[in-house]
Amino acid sequence: MELNEKYIREIVEKVVGDVTASGALDTAGKQKGVFDTMSEALEAVKKAYKEFRSYTVAQREEMISIIRKLTLEEAENMAVLGVEETGMGNVADKIIKHQLVAKKTPGTEDLEPRVKTGDDGLTLIEMAPFGVIGSITPSTNPSETVICNTIGMIAGGNAVVFNPHPNAKKTANYAVDLVNRAIQEAGGPENLVVTVKNPTKESSDEMMACPDVKMLVATGGPGVVKALLSSGKKAIGAGAGNPPVIVDDSADIAKAAKDIVNGASFDNNLPCIAEKECFALKNIADELIDNMTKNGAYLIKGEQIEQLMKVCLVQKNGKWGINKDWVGRDAKKFLKAIGIDADAKLVICETQFSHPFVQVEMMMPVLPIVRVNDIEEAIDLACQAEHGNRHSAHIHSKNVDHLTAFARAVETTIFVKNAPSYAGIGAGGEGHTTFTIAGPTGEGLTSARSFTRQRRCVMADGLHIV
């Protein structure tokens, strides 16, 4: 999972050159599926969906296989664009995210029709498309979410209209162009996936209100999920998290330290599943911290913590919130901002439970560690820090009772034991990948079947053969 800096620099130079030369970022009507207005985008996608209805499942699969191929080929381009446009995350990890999407997002095999037979005949249960799906995507995984949603949604027989985060529109729209190029290479319709050149709140409202948009999917913070759930339409909401990680005294401490540093620093802590605060039993806390510092973490103390707080956070109406300028930045920059010149991929510090570093979902490579007396206290505080999001939680322990007790108490959609958090989305763990984890509406790790409706077809008194 590691790429060296020289390689990354070469990629950046090459990609910036290629992209500039090809004009791939010139959105003046050249990108496939990218429209000036939402009305035009909606008209085009409606037409495409009508055409798509006559395509076979095998043809859907052919389109998906070319999306996978192009995603692998252009993973570096999109990683570079994402970092350049948003200033968040890092190229090496964003390449891995695109590779994961390409390789591990399920296609049509996920639809699994069911059959019931018996004395009264045969009944088929098939997974049918909703139609045109409206999808709102985040700034933190802009192209990854577009590609992942597209694979799942067209596998289910749908067409898609995206309204991406305005701060990541170039990267998201590059991905919309890519999936359309793939779909057309496979003989699919034009504009099966569409978006707008300049997404806004107004274009999002127009998309949500359009009667031809039959399902809405939102990946982002609490605001967008609430807006979607008030739309009166079938909606899938993938919302915010603040994942805690517990380390108890039965764990392999050296491995736990390495896994936590790798998980919490991955793409500079942007993923919603990444470890965002750590609860360590007091009898292993020193050993854990020591091992973290041997694996790329830099420990700050006392005054330095207060200084860093002024960098990462802002206070509004007596409440702490994130300083958006610092989301997803490199750990080295945080250290530099408080006068430390050191090479590190994660900043760690010891804090109290009430500290804003623990309470706020920062999405920065800054991990607070809270010492606890026993597993009961660890579970209690970790559940409180997760704030009932029921998103993700992680633990390092070999004690089955501890593993079970935490899983039961925290009730998260993703629960990773003895691995970095990204094992929960298929990187070094079993199971498929998604970048839309639907806790609030319960679909869990979304895949093609999440974007379909069940239909039942009954044949009475016949067609069964025994």
- 188 vs 243, which CB is nearer to ligand NAD? 243
Identify the residue whose tokens are 């692998």: 72
- 108 vs 139, which CB is nearer to ligand NAD? 139
Min dist CB 400 to ligand NAD, Å, is: 29
Tell me the residue nearest to ligand NAD as measured from the CB: 220
Which positions lie near ligand NAD, rule CB under 6 A?
Answer: 136-141, 164-166, 204, 219-221, 223-224, 227, 238-241, 272, 361, 435-437
Q: 3-class DSSP state for residue 217?
A: strand
Nearest Cα residue to 437 out of 239, 226, 235: 239
Specify whether the CB–CB gap between 425 and 445 falls below 8 A. Answer: yes
- 131 vs 439, which CB is nearer to ligand NAD? 439
Min dist CB 238 to ligand NAD, Å, is: 3
Min dist CB 308 to ligand NAD, Å, is: 21
Specify whether the CB–CB gap between 333 and 374 falls below 8 A. Answer: no
Residue 461 has φ and ψ, to the nearest 5°, of 60, 30
Min dist CB 205 to ligand NAD, Å, is: 8
Greatest alpha-carbon span in the chain: 79
Min dist CB 363 to ligand NAD, Å, is: 6
Residue 412 has φ and ψ, to the nearest 5°, of -85, 160
Other CB atoms within a 10 A radius of the CB of residue 319 amount to: 10
269 CB-near residues (< 8 Å, 6+ apart):
276, 328, 346, 362, 363, 364, 365, 366, 367
Q: What tokens were used for 238?
A: 């993938």
- 224 vs 311, which CB is nearer to ligand NAD? 224
Specify whether the CB–CB gap between 354 and 321 falls below 8 A. Answer: no
- 265 vs 436, which CB is nearer to ligand NAD? 436
Min dist CB 44 to ligand NAD, Å, is: 20
Q: Helices 142-155 & 57-73, crossing angle to 10 degrees?
A: 160
Pick left, alpha or beta for residue 33 (phi over 0 → left; psi -120 to 50 → alpha; otherwise beta).
left
340 CB-near residues (< 8 Å, 6+ apart):
298, 300, 304
Min dist CB 52 to ligand NAD, Å, is: 25
Min dist CB 178 to ligand NAD, Å, is: 19
Residue 123 has φ and ψ, to the nearest 5°, of -125, 130
- 360 vs 369, which CB is nearer to ligand NAD? 360
Specify whether the CB–CB gap between 394 and 381 falls below 8 A. Answer: no
- 141 vs 452, which CB is nearer to ligand NAD? 141
Nearest Cα residue to 177 out of 27, 19, 18: 27
Specify whether the CB–CB gap between 188 and 52 falls below 8 A. Answer: yes
Min dist CB 120 to ligand NAD, Å, is: 42
- 114 vs 324, which CB is nearer to ligand NAD? 324
- 132 vs 146, which CB is nearer to ligand NAD? 146
